[in-house]
Amino acid sequence: MRWRTILLQYCILLVTCLLTALQAVPIDIDKTKVQNTHPVESAKIGPPDTGLYYDEYLKQVIEVLETDQHFREKLQKADVEEIKSGRLSKELDLVSHHVRTKLDELKRQEVGRLRMLIKAKLDSFQDKGMDHQSLLKQFDHLNHLNPDKFESTDLDMLIKAATSDLEDYDKTRHEEFKKYEMMKEHERREYLKTLNEEKRKEEESKFEEMKKKHENHPKVNHPGSKDQLKEVWEETDGLDPDDFDPKTFFKLHDVNSDGFLDEQELEALFTKELEKVYDPKNEEDDMVEMEEERLRMREHVMNEVDTNKDRLVTLEEFLKATEKKEFLEPDSWEMGSPSVAQAGAQWHDHSSLQP
């Protein structure tokens, strides 16, 4: 369904990261769960975990709503603004009694889970005097004042919470990556301090040699260019490059056949380019940096192709992009996210303040 795609499109099985923790009350609950960082081939894409702490509840609500024919039809016709604004939530009043009953049960289970979570946190601090009901206010994905009934307010809150949390996903991932790079550089320099001068020079020499070796790689095609897509067409799809057809390419890589290329489907297209630089079998190649580069490639293509900025690429948008000069004659693409350089600069700024 389109709503499922819109709400879940931001989530990718890539870099381990945490989104901002809730700060309204003194209960430390992360908005995401840790995720693994594995390259995703297009043929292996499955329903992703959003990483949100209410991920299972979100998915279950969507699945139940999709069983109602009326609501399903409304979802198919709804645009992004209707979903985000909450207008679509009003349609909940028209779903069948059977669906409402299931939604009520899901909400009761979710409220019960949150109460258990709060109790466990309070018990760990041995604080028995706090009011569990008031602490439920920190969870903004449901209406805690009516714990037994799933109403249009609940659907509106769930959509807005998920949209808000997930829209900052890329920004958070970039920030987490910069912190990762800073820590990696810090640990390397701390290690060098433990060595004598001879060993330290030897390690520095190895480090510079590794950097040069990493920079010596085959040409990386500009993400989203004709050359890049033709390479996928030939090497991944096993088709004759002379028969390259953008419309056929789009349909081949619209893995879930929903009529869009979402962010996860786009990122899968860059695996061949990334493998020119990063080898998962080589311990010297940092897979976290590879996934940051994949994210950078996807953001670039989205900025160029996604004209209505709904974070989905339609066939029409895709075909229009293939008519541009940038598609046929792109600028060169430099590997190495700016985040890496920024992280290094920040590390130097931070270290210069140390006594």
Q: Are 103 and 179 members of one domain?
A: no
Instruction: Give me the pLDDT at residue 297, please.
Output: 94
What DSSP letter does each residue of 303-319 carry, written as one string?
HHH-TT-SS-EEHHHHH
Cα 288 to Cα 3, 120, 338, distances in angstroms: 30, 33, 14
Q: Are 100 and 203 members of one domain?
A: no
What average pLDDT score do residues 341-347 get? Answer: 49
> Phi first, then psi: what are they for 52, rounded to 5°?
-75, 150
Burial class (CB in 10 A: 0-12, 13-18, 19+), 246: middle
What average pLDDT score do residues 295-309 get? Answer: 91
Q: Are 59 and 193 members of one domain?
A: no
pLDDT in tens, 197-218: 999 999 999 999 888 888 888 8
Q: Please, what's the largest Cα pairwise distance for the chain? A: 77
Instruction: Give me the pLDDT at residue 189, please.
Output: 92
Domain count, the chain: 2
Domain boundary, last residue among 167, 188, 217:
167
- Distance separating alpha carbons of residues 258 and 112, to the nearest angstrom: 35
- Distance separating alpha carbons of residues 120 and 126, to the nearest angstrom: 10
User: Which residue type, as a one-letter code, is found at position 7?
Assistant: L
pLDDT in tens, 52-79: 788 889 889 988 998 998 888 887 777 7
What average pLDDT score do residues 155-159 get? Answer: 87
Percent of the chain whose predicted confidence (pLDDT) is above 90: 37
What average pLDDT score do residues 129-139 get? Answer: 69
What average pLDDT score do residues 75-88 get? Answer: 72
**Helix %, strand %, coil % of the chain (to 5):** 60, 0, 35
Using alpha carbons, select from 57, 52, 256 the residue that is nearest to residue 172.
52
What average pLDDT score do residues 155-169 get? Answer: 80
**CB contact set of 111 (below 8 Å; sequence gap of 6+):** 136, 142, 144, 147
Q: Are 7 and 154 members of one domain?
A: yes
Q: Are 230 and 290 members of one domain?
A: yes
Domain boundary, last residue among 112, 144, 167:
167
Q: Are 161 and 174 members of one domain?
A: no
Say if strands 260-261 and 313-314 run parallel, antiparallel, or are unpaired: antiparallel
User: Does residue 266 surpass a pLDDT of 60?
Assistant: yes
Q: Are 183 and 307 members of one domain?
A: yes
What average pLDDT score do residues 131-141 get? Answer: 74
Q: What's the pLDDT band for 347 if we cut at 50, 70, 90?
A: very low
Mean pLDDT of the chain: 78
Q: Are 160 and 199 members of one domain?
A: no
Domain boundary, last residue among 167, 195, 227:
167
Q: Which helix (H) or strand (E) holds 260?
A: strand 260-261
pLDDT in tens, 165-181: 776 777 888 888 999 99
Mean pLDDT check: name the lowest of 100-114, 250-264, 332-346.
332-346
Instruction: Give me the pLDDT at residue 2, please.
Output: 41
Instruction: Give me the pLDDT at residue 125, please.
Output: 58
Write the CATH number for 278: 1.10.238.10
What DSSP letter does each residue of 188-243 carry, written as one string?
HHHHHHTS-HHHHHHHHHHHHHHHHHHH--PPPPPTTSHHHHHHHHHHTS---GGG
Q: Are 140 and 190 members of one domain?
A: no
User: Does residue 311 surpass a pLDDT of 90?
Assistant: no
Q: Are 290 and 337 members of one domain?
A: yes
Look up the domain containing 284 and give its range. Answer: 170-352
Whole-model pTM over 0.85: no
Q: Are 107 and 26 members of one domain?
A: yes
Cα 228 to Cα 181, 274, 279, 295, 306, distances in angstroms: 28, 11, 19, 16, 18
Instruction: Give me the pLDDT at residue 302, please.
Output: 92
What average pLDDT score do residues 93-99 get? Answer: 89
Instruction: Give me the pLDDT at residue 50, please.
Output: 61
User: Does residue 24 surpass a pLDDT of 50?
Assistant: no
Q: Are 114 and 215 members of one domain?
A: no
